[in-house]
Amino acid sequence: MASGAADKLPTAHKPHGLGRWLFATNHKDIGSLYLWFAFSMFLVGGVLALCIRAELFSPGLQFFQPELFNQLTTLHGLIMVFGAIMPAFTGLANWMLPLMIGAPDMAFARMNNWSFWLLPPAMSLLLLSFIVPGGAAAAGWTLYAPLSVQLGMGMDLTIFAIHILGVSSIMGAINIVVTIINLRAPGMRMMNMPMFAWASLITAYLIIAVMPVLAGAVTMVLTDRHFGTHFFNAAGGGDPILYQHVFWFFGHPEVYIMALPAFGIVSQVIPTFARKPLFGYSSMVYATSSIGVLSFMVWAHHMFVTGMPATAQLFFMYATMLIAVPTGVKVFNWIATMWQGSMSFETPMLFAIGFILLFTIGGLSGVTLSVAAVDVQLHGSYYVVAHFHYVLVAGALFSLFSAVYYWFPKMTGRMYVERLGQLHFWWSLLWFNVTFFPMHFLGLAGMPRRIPDYALQFTDFNRIASIGAFMFGLGQLIFLINILYSLRHGKTAPQQPWEGANTLEWRLPTPAPYHSFSQPPQLETAENGVVLSMRDGGQV
Amino acid sequence: MSCPRLCGSSAAWLILNSTAVHGQSAALNLQAPATSLARMEYDLHTMLLLVTGAIFLLVLAVMLYAIVRHRKSVGHEAKPFHENTTVEIIWTVLPLLILLAIAWPATRAVLNQKSTHGEDMTIRITGYQWKWRYDYLDDNFGFVSHLATPRAAMAATAVRPEHYLLEVDEPLVLPTGRKVRLLLTANDVIHSWWVPQLGIKQDAIPGFLRDAWFMVDKPGIYRGQCSELCGKDHGFMPIVVDARSPEDYARWRTARLQQLAASADDPSKVWSLAALRERGEKVYGQNCLPCHQASGKGIPGNFPALDGSPIVNGDKAAHIRIVFHGSQRNPAMQAWGKQLSDTEIAAVITYERNAWGNNTGQLVQPAEIRAVRGGSG
């Protein structure tokens, strides 16, 4: 395959040492940086969550005063969204997209370096804010004005961090869009691309569309705080609800920014382990696109209790309910892919099935929340906390685990330890449910979210949730151990470790060479990136 | 807390503190509805639960069947079909029809929630950090409702009362069988007034008025909490509605109006230092304590200390100014002139100037506050 390609390059160089990472322009190195960064932020955000659960283990104030508690919830949310989930998906896209579509690298290699290296300073600002006078931002990850206007300088650091994070993710997204549009190998039509590429493409468009909106919202908070504007101050002619509209116009598509790549991953993993082509590929593409479009039209369902007129409530209720249709189509397609398959249950498949199961629960509780009249009882309660953790932990995080296990052999040339991977899955599945399922009941029973102390009737389920959270957190160490061990001592992976995998990345040697596809391969592809034949495509 | 201890103590706790000890079982559903609105929401939720539950079970069943039967280890061969237009149309249209079936009652419920006209009485609710003010607009009186659970009960060791964190000093007293219209607003940040059994949650937004309504079926005490993060003491902003029969309510109203007339402060009264201090300590406890703390030390980094503060120990006029008008620099310091009477402000300033290590010996009379109020137009 690599017939003479190496000879044609002047230097088949692979940089070494610190410079390899600091000045990285190779999509695989940058992808790895993203993934490691995201995982470390996942641990930091997870520790904050465990602090929250420790405090909520019993009624009363045990470990944290309310002001610090609010900082913990705020930073947990911000770090998980912007530090863990989003960079992890960007990292995966960086790593896998060029391999899956036959590109030499990402389109803008140096911009890629910059978009990664903006993340550590941004996250440092966020973490630094814990130690400034007044502490970190304490208005929830939504940073609602006017509360966020009241806070101390931790809020300013947060705003600055969000600006930097926004720049980073927009650059990452532009890179993904341009790579997919321009650098596909001959023979890879758009309607043949792997679903992961489609999902990444649509996600990238969402990011480009909404990150500036968030930047606008927090900039208005910043000028309200320091420059005498009154965007959100009714006494000065502003409107506190304006902030929520602007924020959720970003925030709702953001939910799908964290969900669509997961759909893409699962659409690669399920066909592989069912040994069947993805069912309804084109309807998957259309469903994903329509979810992307609809996600812009439903933002105010986060604001049903702000007191909008009945007509507005009805519009946003109908539009929100409508999202269930394409989402349902996707779930049915995955199950139809499994149906009459020849399934095996390696760790990536387990996480993908876990994803479908739990994401369905999250989606169905979303239908319940979409009904404005019922949302009156559930808004701002623990029911919402349960709902979005089913979507974001069981959705985004489980799919990420699935992806890492799935592509680990290709990335590293070694197999992970299957038994540990399976243990990680079953452990996570069990304790995830122990943690978050009771939160539905807490919300129904009337427990508001974001409170550091609660009435006695909420004690039982909070205890269960706290125990679950600690065990779930502990289980993630299994993953870390597995990865660290396998990187060094894992069995050598074959080029094609999964019998049913048939996309382009598996045509490359394992581990994926430092420079793949220095010449575009001539492809003949089918739906979902299935490679029918391939000629040439040099690597170094 | 170490993990073994955590697990051990919780296991013991689960065995010991079963429902009998608390007298409250862990609820699995919405609270028992006490208004037509809450009943409607309850029924709608039940319907949604049944529909979504059925869908989930169906999805689960098909998936489990495939997982059990269509696996490689039992020798199942993959059938490489990958499209079927008929089923795809069915599973797009069927969910649409289900959603339409849900949308019909949901729409009626939304319209019902929003029909606030034809009220028998109107209450204005104002959210403050961190308390609720209730104004009976028809009778032109009002009061502030504070958390009544003592702060000591939040310490890890304390014994907690039955309605821990859900009790207030002054509940909102209302008649049953009357359509009550609520007008909600807030003074500082957004709060949200939520009483589950009454089926109401409505944000209270500074500078804007929102409305909502309910009609309570039968007498009882209904409890809720603020449900929009409103800062430090968000978790300590309970709502208690005391619904009484119309006759009981009428008696309460008469007594309340008489009591108000009797205890109204005379703003021209001249007070002694000791009396003002005593009154001021109460005002401080209800209004200033959450931020500046009982010790007057504040919360470093968030809320300044009053003990030893140059403002409190310095020029009286500056002290009055900041209490009355709030702080431009730190919006968390409210303009208390809008919330407290002249006597209350005079009392709390006097208290602050003579409490903890502060020993100015100065007192501020209500007349001085009235002068500021008059001057500020």
Give the tens place of pLDDT for each residue, A483-507: 999 999 999 999 999 999 999 999 9
Are the beta carbons of A338 and B49 separated by less than 8 Å?
no
Exposed, middle or buried, A346 (CB in 10 Å: 0-12/13-18/19+)?
buried
Q: Per the CB < 8 Å rule, is A467 touching B194? A: no
What tokens appear for B346 in the block? 């005079």
Q: Which two tokens stand for residue B89?
A: 């149309």
Q: Using a CB-CB distance cutoff of 8 angstroms, which residues of chain A are in contact with residue B44?
A: 371, 373-374
> How open is the CA angle B171-B176-B178, to the nearest 5 degrees?
110
Q: Is A158 an annotated catalytic residue?
A: no
pLDDT at B242: 97
> pLDDT at residue B16 above 60?
no
Q: pLDDT tens digits, residue range B71-116?
A: 999 999 999 899 899 999 999 999 999 999 999 999 999 999 999 9
Distance from CA of residue A248 to its chain's centroid?
17
- Max mean pLDDT among A208-212, B268-272, B349-353 falls in A208-212
pLDDT at B2: 40
Instruction: Tell whether B338 lies on the interface with A, counting CB pairs under 8 A.
Output: no
Does B32 lie at the interface with A, CB-CB under 8 angstroms? no
Q: Using CB atoms, pick whichever of B200, B205, B301 lies closest to residue A152.
A: B301
pTM here? Answer: 0.90
Tokens read off for A290:
């329509």
Cβ proximity of B136 and B142 under 8 Å: yes
The one catalytic residue in A76, A163, A387, A389 is A76
Q: What pLDDT shows up at residue A519?
A: 86
Burial of A189 (0-12, 13-18, 19+ CB in 10 A): exposed
B330 vs B75, which has greater pLDDT?
B75
pLDDT, averaged across chain B? 88
Tokens 């029909």, residue?
Answer: B115
Rounded CA separation A204/A90 (Å): 9
The tally of CA atoms less than 13 A away on the side-chain side of residue B301 is 13
Residue numbers of chain A with a pLDDT score lower than 70: 1-13, 537-540
Amino acid A375 reads D
- Percentage of chain B exceeding pLDDT 70: 92
Question: Pairing state of beta strands B141-145 and B172-175?
Answer: unpaired
Residue B264 has pLDDT above 60, yes or no: yes
Task: Give the integer Cα–Cα distance in Å for A392 and A399.
Answer: 10
Min Cα distance A38 → chain B (Å) is 26
Q: How far is B252 from chain A (nearest CA, A)?
A: 28
- Interface contact A451-B235, CB threshold 8 A: yes
Which of A327, A428, A435, A503 does the annotation list as catalytic?
A327
Mean pLDDT, residues B358-364 taken together: 86
Chain B environment of A325 (Cβ under 8 Å): 92, 95-96, 99
CB within 8 Å: B235 and A345: no
Residues of B within 8 A of A59 (CB-CB) are 160, 164-165
Does residue A454 have an active-site annotation?
no
**Tell me, what's the pLDDT at B318?**
87
What digits encode the pLDDT tens for the residues B152-162? 888 867 788 89
* B55 interfaces chain A, CB cutoff of 8 Å: yes
| Lowest-confidence segment of A43-47, A363-367, B298-302, B365-369 by average pLDDT | B298-302
Residue pairs between chains A and B whose CB atoms are closer than 8 Å: 328
Nearest CA in chain B to A528: B82
Residue B339 CA to residue B350 CA, distance in Å, equals 17
Nearest Cα of chain B lies from the Cα of A298 at a distance, in angstroms, of 16
Which of A73, A90, A158, A168 is flagged as catalytic? A168
Inter-chain CB proximity A372 and B164 less than 8 Å: no
Helix (H, G, I), strand (E, B) or coil at B201: strand
Select from A64, A65, A272, A332 the residue whose CB has the most chain B CBs within 10 Å, as the one to mutate to test that interface: A332
Q: Give the pLDDT score at A4.
A: 44
Is A379 an active-site residue? no
pLDDT tens per residue across span A14-67: 788 888 999 999 999 999 999 999 999 999 999 999 999 999 999 999 999 999
Q: What's the mean pLDDT in B289-304?
A: 84
Instruction: Using DSSP, state whether B168 is helix, strand or coil.
Output: strand
State the nearest Cα–Cα gap between A378 and chain B, in angstroms.
9
Which of A317, A371, A435 is the best substitution to test chain B (most B C-beta atoms within 10 A)? A371
If one compares B125 and B83, the residue with the highest pLDDT of the two is: B125
Contact assignment for B67 to A353 by CB distance below 8 Å: yes
For residue B336, the distance in angstroms to the closest alpha carbon of chain A comes to 16
The partner residue sitting opposite B91, judged by closest CB among A277, A321, A332, is A332
How many residues would you count in chain A? 540
CB contact under 8 A, A70 and B229: yes
* The dihedral sign for the CA sequence A208, A209, A210, A211: positive
Indicate if A489 belongs to the active site: no
Identify the band that residue B272 occupies on the pLDDT scale cut at 50, 70 and 90: confident
For residues B69 and B62, the answer to whether their CB atoms sit within 8 Å is: no
Q: What is the pLDDT of residue B183?
A: 97
Residue B18 pLDDT > 70: no
CB B60 to CB A357 under 8 A? yes
- The alpha helices in A296-451, defined as continuous H runs, are 310-338, 347-370, 372-378, 382-391, 398-412, 418-445
CB half-sphere exposure, B30, CA atoms < 13 A: 26
